[in-house]
Amino acid sequence: MDARDELQATIAKLVVAGKGILAADESLPTITKRFGALRIDSTDDSRRAYRSLLFTTPGAEEFIGGVILFEETLGQSLDDGTPLADVLSRRGIVPGIKVDKGTVPLPGAPGDFITQGLDGLAERLKTYKQKGARFAKWREIYGITDRNPTPLGIHANAEVLARYAAICQECGIVPIVEPEVLIDGDHTLERCQEVAEAVLHAVFAALNRYRVTLEGIVLKPSMVLPGKEHAPKAAPEVVARATLEVLRRTVPSAVPTINFLSGGQSSIEATANLNAMNAMAPNAPWVLSYSYGRALQDDAMRTWAGRADNVPAAQDAFLRRARMNSLARHGKWDAAMDNPSARQ
């Protein structure tokens, strides 16, 4: 199978109706912080136990088509010795891998950042592929102020995303292209929309320059939202309308799937906003789906709390959020479904 065929085979598994992507690729500092908030010790064993409970949740394969792993997790196994990547593959879930190395300030663009990790990426991808990974993820971030992101910041981050995507495709790995417009700040929804449109224009111009095959990527953008310090919050219909307007102006129809990040939204907000988009645009040229981390995991992590006897209840909580987002992927979710009285 050549690289293009590999890309199409992976995409086909990621776009199955009703499925999305679980982002379980938290870095060690991030998952340690989240565990710490719940008084869970962050150790190799506790991180392995937590991610194992997610990956072995009965029925999750109905709603999860792929999982983004952290490098540590790709090398971990169940107690019986089965590699976690194999656990996923055997359930029809595609393993993926986070490959960026985090952000640093961008010289010449105060307030903007750039992501590291391109050096040696091709060799790392070959190793990850041998361990079962079939797609990768790379995140660039764009903070919003009156001056940021700067034109240099927008251009430089787009170039890095495109170079990463081209390297992945040469290796037969599907790239998740993640330009995250951050929710931090007190900016308006209109300012976010302006930035999101400029960012995506630059990203697709760069992907074109690097001859990235658009049919073989996953786009993982932010939704268009006001800053978390800006009141009031936007209604789902408002978020959906603004986000769809940006996508229609910037994203070619050749892109097979858009899997949104939750980006600081609550679990319910992320589900409601995704549902509104699918209800508003049932015939969109792309699949509109999810690639959530906290918005899929928060209930499960709190329920688990680091205790083995809580695993079944935590898996129920994870399965419920996956099911809710699967409904939202079809525009068939309703807020009443998330009321405590509606829970099974």
The residues annotated as belonging to the active site are: 178, 220
Sign for the pseudo-dihedral over CA of 250, 225, 65, 169: positive
For the chain, the three-class secondary structure string (H helix, E strand, C coil) is: CCHHHHHHHHHHHHCCCCCEEEEECCCHHHHHHHHHHCCCCCCHHHHHHHHHHHHCCCCHHHCEEEEEECHHHHCCECCCCCEHHHHHHHCCCEEEEECCCCEEECCCCCCCEEECCCCCHHHHHHHHHHCCCCEEEEEEEECCCCCCCCHHHHHHHHHHHHHHHHHHHHCCCEEEEEEEECCCCCCCHHHHHHHHHHHHHHHHHHHHHCCCCHHHCEECCCCCCCCCCCCCCCCHHHHHHHHHHHHHHHCCCCCCEEEECCCCCCHHHHHHHHHHHHHHCCCCCCEEEEEECHHHHHHHHHHHCCCHHHHHHHHHHHHHHHHHHHHHHCCCCCHHHHCHHHCC
Residue 295 near residue 24 (C-beta atoms within 8 A): no
How crowded is residue 122: how many other Cβ atoms within 10 Å of its Cβ? 13
